Amino acid sequence: MAKIALWQTVKYPVIFSVVPGSVPGPAIFILVIMQAERWTRYHSLLRDNRKIQQNNSQKNHINLITIGLRIATHLRNHTVILDNIKDLYMITSSAARKRKIPTSDISVKYMSFCFKRLKMVLRCYGQNEPVYICGGVDDTDGRTVCECKTDVCYFKLNIEHYQTFTAYSKDAPIGTRGRVFFINDTAGLEPILENRQTSPCNDVSTCTQANTVDGQSYRSFISVNKRIPGPTLIVPEGATVVVDVTNYMFTEETSVHWHGMHQRNTPWMDGVGYITQCPIQAGSSFRYIFEATPSGTFWYHSHSGPQRTDGLFGALIVKEKNLYRLSSWRYGVFEDIPEQHTLSLLDWQRESSLDLFVQIHSSLGYYEDTDVDEVPTRSNTRYTSTCSLDGAEVGPIPYWSGVINGLGRHAKVPFKNSRLSTFFVERWKSYRFRLIGAQANYAYKFYIGGHKLRVIATDGFFIEPISADFLIVNTGERYDFLLDTYQYPGTDFLIRAETLEVNCSSLKVDGKLETNDAIAALTYGNSVNMFVIEEAYRNGFSKPDCTSQNPCTVVNCPFENWAEPGYQCVNVDQFQLLIPTPEKDVPNFSSEWSAEDATFFFNFGFDSTEVTSTVNGRNFVVPSISLQTEQEDKDNMTVCSDVSAACMKEDCQCTQILDLGENFYNKTIR
């Protein structure tokens, strides 16, 4: 007997009505009965429902799903389980009789057909496959991984401000009753408070873990379910993903973007505040519902200000349905354990990103040779910028430290006191590793000492395997690679990501790269010998040896050829897809200019740190509404126009919208 999962409001009943259509079986849509004060908000959605009832073409079944999702998402929903399909049949039959719909049009036979069309709203699944739930207030352990294997995956993500080096009581209000720790040279983490018996978190089991991050910076950060980064969410391809995000931050609003998800038929789930949704205000929640497609390595992160850089991000893994086919094609047999072998790179700062932003874009600027709480004087030097290899200014702040999966080592921290992310492997196997570039400013050159990287996928698409010594990862990029483990048991190796940056003042002198990095450890044993990692770091004995006779391969070079001898580049345009892109997803580029196509030009300007960036000479102003869902109110915004008052001065500050109109559907936009 199958079970049915329905999303139902806490206070308001959801009635499933049946509308006879031209396709086999009925189409189910949601009609929400609400209190009078909430009717206005959803009136337009319900009105659209009635319009659809009058036109029962097959195309409109997608619209029914869309409208039902919009209503279900705006309301605070909980998941309830009906015992069997018979109960749902009784509900639909009762609703149909009230609407004078012949019960002959309703049959259990066609229920599964309707469920397939409405799989974004409700799912059928087996008796032994309940809805998977992970995270939230009840998840007191702050799990690093939430893996779902059912058709419906339900997650709770709590966003809150925490402090590094601090453990918090699980039973106390969020962000209170903390206990601060420091790193003792001999005993490891030790509490600062002397009276250990009466201090909060005396019993480690009743408290969260202290996040040391880079081992040096005592500062605030944004946690997702009590940790940085947030838990890795693992779901099967095609699953319905339901995520309740609650904003426990004191004053900041937020949103969560599901980076790489196509969001077809659910564009308002893309998670961009004031564009696809109203941002989640402090103390509020928002429910995201979307289909997990395509498969591959992705991530979720904030799209509100600099919150992502402060920790509001995590990995999102969509596991392939037919992974065994890939093993037999090009890659051989390999183990895919994303909960153990997913790496996220992050550049970390000594203070919060919001403080840095205000500092940099004011007249003060950034002074590297002063303490955080120290006012600079004329004797101090204002930092200008770090540069890329081609001389372009990358960022107005120097590199502080880097972390892998939320752990790393600042240059001032002794290796014996370091807490590094560790990845465990066994000899004579092949492991799939997933690498995510979550950093803000810097491209990383990634390698694992003593090993080659067989790159097999980028941004969710499988490619013909490429053997690489180094892999360059930019912000937002994801790469999957296979690691063949042929070293001896008990050995340890350095994992290192070096920044592609040059000191601007020395660029014209020698052009040498800065040696800033983020590190982790790979071990063939049960624990890591930190002395071995330190030796590898300082002496580079496990780093690839690149010579003109035996050059190293660098995948994803930012230029055609590497300036230094001993390196050969593999550029992105040399990648070959293992599985061709479906024709329906390929733009229809004609050999000659066609009136059916359209070309738009964007000029990106980065003048200085004292003004914001521009696109086509316009400073972007965040709209006051959600453009995706509140189009009828866009007249209240300051939209960019050459004749508007906002653009009659030197700095044109407005909301710039590229309106494609109604005639661009299925056309190619260049």
The DSSP letter of residue 330 is: I
Q: How far apart are CA 204 and CA 196, in angstroms?
A: 12
* Model confidence pLDDT, tens digit, residues 356-396: 888 887 767 888 888 877 888 888 888 878 887 777 777 78
Q: How far apart are CA 238 and CA 148, in angstroms?
A: 12
Q: How far apart are CA 627 and CA 649, in angstroms?
A: 26
H-helix or E-strand spanning residue 178 = strand 178-184
Question: Residues 6 or more apart from 500 whose CB is under 8 A from it?
Answer: 388, 389, 442, 443, 444, 445, 472, 513, 558
Phi-psi group of 175: left, alpha or beta (phi > 0 → left; psi -120 to 50 → alpha; rest → beta): left
186, 275 contact by CB (below 8 A): no
Q: pLDDT value at position 189?
A: 84
Pairing, β 188-191 against β 429-437? unpaired
Is pLDDT at 43 greater than 90 in this prediction? no
Sign of CA dihedral 589, 593, 597, 601: positive
* Token pair listed for 215: 């081992």
CATH for the 342-348+398-574 domain, from 2.60.40.420, 1.10.10.10, 1.10.3720.10, 2.60.40.10: 2.60.40.420
Q: How far apart are CA 241 and CA 467, in angstroms?
A: 35
Sign of CA dihedral 609, 410, 367, 363: positive
* Token pair listed for 291: 């289909």
Which residue matches tokens 């009965």? 33
Q: pLDDT value at position 84?
A: 35
Return the SS3 of 49: helix
* Token pair listed for 303: 């799209």
Q: How far apart are CA 488 and CA 297, in angstroms?
A: 30
CATH for the 134-164+211-321 domain, from 1.20.1630.10, 2.60.40.420, 1.10.3720.10, 2.70.98.60: 2.60.40.420
Is pLDDT at 650 greater than 80 in this prediction? no
* Model confidence pLDDT, tens digit, residues 208-241: 888 999 999 999 999 999 899 999 999 999 999 9
Cis geometry, peptide bond prior to residue 229 (ω within 30 degrees of 0): yes
Q: Where are the beta strands (DSSP E) in 376-490?
A: 386-387, 393-395, 401-404, 407-408, 422-424, 429-437, 444-448, 453-458, 461-468, 470-473, 478-485
Taking Cα atoms as reference points, which of 530, 539, 526 lies closest to residue 420? Answer: 530
The DSSP letter of residue 605 is: E
* Token pair listed for 459: 């941004």
174, 248 contact by CB (below 8 A): yes
pLDDT band at 492 (very low <50, low <70, confident <90, very high): very high
pLDDT band at 290 (very low <50, low <70, confident <90, very high): very high
pLDDT band at 24 (very low <50, low <70, confident <90, very high): very low
The DSSP letter of residue 144 is: S
Return the SS3 of 210: coil
303, 273 contact by CB (below 8 A): yes
What order of strands is seen across the sheet that includes strand 401-404?
Answer: 407-408, 401-404, 342-348, 429-437, 478-485, 453-458, 461-468
Return the SS3 of 174: coil
Q: From residue 666, give the alpha-carbon distance in Å to each of 127, 423, 586, 589.
A: 42, 46, 11, 12
Write a three-state SS string for 287-316.
EEEEECCCCEEEEEEECCCCHHHHCCEEEE
Q: pLDDT value at position 327?
A: 60
* Model confidence pLDDT, tens digit, residues 513-530: 667 999 999 999 999 999
- Alpha-helical segments (H) within 471-589: 530-539
Query: Do 134-164+211-321 and 342-348+398-574 show the same overall fold?
Result: yes
* Model confidence pLDDT, tens digit, residues 254-274: 999 999 999 988 999 999 999
* Token pair listed for 467: 């053997």
Highest mean pLDDT among 120-129, 215-224, 587-596, 606-615: 215-224
Which residue matches tokens 């200008």? 384
Q: Where in the chain are the domains? A: 134-164+211-321, 342-348+398-574, 585-669
Sign of CA dihedral 546, 549, 555, 561: positive
Q: How far apart are CA 363 and CA 561, in angstroms?
A: 39
Q: How far apart are CA 411 and CA 94, in angstroms?
A: 69
Q: Average pLDDT in the 568-584 region?
A: 86
Count CB atoms within 10 A of the CB of residue 97.
12
- Angle between helical axes of 60-74 and 108-117 (0-180°, round to 10): 70
* Model confidence pLDDT, tens digit, residues 155-176: 999 999 999 999 888 777 666 7
Sign of CA dihedral 551, 553, 559, 564: negative
Count CB atoms within 10 A of the CB of residue 11.
9
Q: How far apart are CA 5 and CA 198, in angstroms?
A: 47
Which pTM does this prediction carry?
Answer: 0.80
Q: How far apart are CA 74 and CA 604, in angstroms?
A: 36
- Alpha-helical segments (H) within 445-595: 530-539
Which is higher by pLDDT, 454 or 558?
Answer: 454
Q: pLDDT value at position 508?
A: 52
Q: How far apart are CA 63 and CA 333, in angstroms?
A: 42
Q: Average pLDDT in the 180-208 region?
A: 75
Sign of CA dihedral 644, 649, 654, 657: positive
580 phi and psi angles, rounded to 5 deg: -60, 150
